[in-house]
Amino acid sequence: MRSPSVLSAAALCLASACSDSIPVEPTTAALSAFSTRASAVADEQLTATNPAIANIPAEFGVPSGDFIVGSAQLLYDINALKGASPTLILANDRDKLTEAQWVKNDPRRGGHDGLKWGYLAANVPVPMYDPTVLGSIRPATATELENGLVSAVAAWDARSCSRAPFTRLFPGEPGIPDVIQVGWQPNSWFVANFPPNGGSIIGVTLSSIFVNNLVDKIPTDIDGNGRPDLAQALIVYNAGKIWSDNGPFGSVDLFTIAAHETGHSLGIDHFGKVFVNQNNVEIVNGIPTIDLGDIKYAPKALMNAVYIVGRTNIEGTDHASFCQIWAGQ
C-alpha cells in the first residue's frame, strides 16, 4: 500500500541551495513563457524547428486531416523556481477542462468510442530508486516503466461513470492512437526543445488540434461545444530525473506523474488553490523555506498544479472533471 505521508517531514525550498523537489506546474512570472496554454502559432513553430517532436508519432501514424500542436502542458520540478521571489499562492486554477476537447466518435480519428492509446517504450536509460538498497539508484527495467504507465492509464479507465475511455493499441496493429505515451527522452531533449529551463521539466503533454487547413489554420469545432477539437496527445517524460515507486523525497513517483499527465491527455485541466500561510514561510540560512506539511490544497487532488509524490487517489474534483467529459461514453 502506498503512503502519501512519505514526504511529510521534507522541506520545499524556493532557492538555489535546495536540492529537494516536488513536481509543480509553472506559476511565477519567471516561468510565464511556459504557459499551459501556449498559442497554436508558437507551438507550431516549436514543432517545425524541433523534428524530434514532429516525428514522435511516426511509428503509429497520425490522424487523418490537418492538425497542429495546439497546447503544451509542462510539468516542472520545483527547482525551476530557483531565483524567483517566493510566492504564498503556488497555484490558483479554476478551469477543470483543457481549452481543447475530444469529439465523441470523431471520424477523423476513426470514429471509435473513447480513446485509443499506445506506448513507444523507453529508448534511453532511466534512473530508478532501488528500495532494497538505501540510497541506491539503478537503471529502470522496461517492464516496470511500462507497468507504471499501464497502471496510470488503468486508474482513469476504471472510472465508473464511463464504460471504457481507453483501449490499447500496439505497434503494427490497425488504427492510430489518440494518446501516445512516448516514454522517456534524455534531459538534453527537454533542454533543446524548451529553452531556457527545459532541464527542469519532468514531463510534457503535447496536445494537437484539428484545423480547417494548413494555410488558414483555423481550429475546427465540429461538435459545436465552443472548444477546439483535439487530434492527438503525446506524453514525454524526462530520463534526467530519478524515478521511483513512491520512493524518497528528491525522486519523482512514476504512477503519480504518469497519472497526472494522462489526466491532461483526457482533457482534464487543473483546478484548485494551492497556498501557504505567510507565517509558515521560514528563512533558514537566508533561504525561504516551506515545510511540505504547511502546503494547503483547496481541494487536494491528483490534478492539482502542485501535488505530493505518491498521490494515488482519483476522486473528488479529479473524478468530477473526468465524468464531466466522459460520462455516458
Q: What is the pLDDT of residue 312?
A: 72
117-148 residue pLDDT tens:
999 877 789 999 988 887 789 999 999 999 99
pLDDT digits (tens, 9 = 90+) for 22-35: 333 333 332 233 22
Which grid coordinates belong to 49?
Answer: 524547428
Q: Name the pairing type of β-strands 127-130 and 136-139.
A: antiparallel
CA angle 229, 159, 101 (to 5 degrees): 10
Q: Is the pLDDT of residue 311 over 80?
A: no
| DSSP type of residue 103 | P
3-state secondary structure of 65: coil
Q: Higher-confidence residue: 307 or 197?
A: 197
Question: Edge-to-edge, what's the strand order for the sheet holding 115-119?
Answer: 23-24, 67-77, 201-210, 230-238, 179-185, 115-119, 166-168
Residues recorded for the chain: 329
Confidence of residue 17 (pLDDT cuts 50, 70, 90): very low
Residue tagged 520512493 (cell numbers): 247
Mean pLDDT of 265-289: 75
Q: At 153, which helix (H) or strand (E)? A: helix 142-157
Q: Amino acid letter at 316?
A: G
Query: Cα separation of 266 and 124, whole Å?
Result: 26
Q: What is the mean pLDDT of the chain?
A: 73
Residue 198 C-beta-side C-alpha neighbours within 13 Å: 17
Homologous superfamily assigned to 4-326 = Collagenase (Catalytic Domain) (3.40.390.10)
What pLDDT, on the 0 to 100 scale, is given for residue 156?
A: 95
Break the chain down into helix, strand, coil percent, rounded to 5: 25, 30, 45
Determine which of 8-17, 37-46, 264-273 has the lowest per-residue pLDDT on average.
Answer: 8-17
Domain boundaries, the chain: 4-326
